[in-house]
Amino acid sequence: MSAELSPRATEIAEHTKQLLAAGGYHGFSYADLSRLVHIGKPSIHHHFPSKADLVLTVVARHREQAREGLAALDRHIEDPLARLMAYTDYWAKCIRDGTSSMCICAMLAAELPMIPQEIADQVRGYFDDLTTWIANVLDSGVARSRFKLAESTLVEAQTFMSTVHGAMLTARALGNADSFQAISRVAMGRLSALN
């Protein structure tokens, strides 16, 4: 991000991320946030004048953190299948330990027609970034004979991304964290050239 947040603003942003994962843009208010952070609403407004400013900051940070995380997977994991597995394992751990049962951008995507345009643009950017990363991993896997694609790389990347985010919803709906990992493994198995 362009500007570093103060420790208090960072704390507000982190709590907002949890609230977004739980209920989306319209699922929380500054009053909810005030109770979590233990400061008054005017103090929150001091750091983030409006809810749109706050959520935009949180989504931009989430997008940046995701880009950094995906780049780290590229640097540290050579095998394309292992990279996809590490990506889904990250979410499986978040779901299992309760740090985040949903990607905030998945929650916000469901609200796109009802959220401020600048936030919607960041959400779309997040999914564009993720699609591009998955497509690059798939291309690398095809080149190494690790994946066999039935459709174009773009369609396969979007299918994998949709399956992973749908698996988050399934795990939430069923109250079963293990279902996320099971669905993700099936999605990766479908891509395997060994099938």
pLDDT score, position 3: 64
CATH code matching the domain that covers 7-191, chosen among 2.60.120.10, 3.40.50.1820, 1.10.3720.10, 1.10.357.10? 1.10.357.10
State the CB neighbour count (10 A cutoff) for residue 32: 15
Given a cut of 80, whether residue 175 has pLDDT beyond it is yes
| 130-156 confidence digits (pLDDT tens) | 999 999 999 999 999 999 999 999 999
pTM for the whole thing?
0.93
**Which token pair is 110?**
């469901």
pLDDT score, position 1: 44
Residue indicated by tokens 């889904």: 88
Calculate mean pLDDT across residues 27-43: 94
Give me the chain's average pLDDT, please.
Answer: 94
SS3 50: coil
Q: How confident is the model at residue 2 (pLDDT cuts 50, 70, 90)?
A: very low
Q: What percent of the chain has pLDDT over 90?
A: 93
Residue indicated by tokens 């399934």: 170
**Which token pair is 161?**
């991304």
What's the rounded Cα separation, in Å, for the pair 52 and 169? 25
What's the rounded Cα separation, in Å, for the pair 73 and 86? 8
Residue 52 burial (10 A CB sphere; 0-12, 13-18, 19+):
middle
CB 147 within 8 A of CB 138: yes
| 45-76 confidence digits (pLDDT tens) | 999 999 999 999 999 999 999 999 999 999 99
Residue indicated by tokens 């459709």: 151
What's the rounded Cα separation, in Å, for the pair 86 and 92? 10
Residue ranges covered by each domain of the chain: 7-191
Given a cut of 70, whether residue 194 has pLDDT beyond it is no
Helical pair 177-191 and 153-174, crossing angle rounded to 10 deg: 160
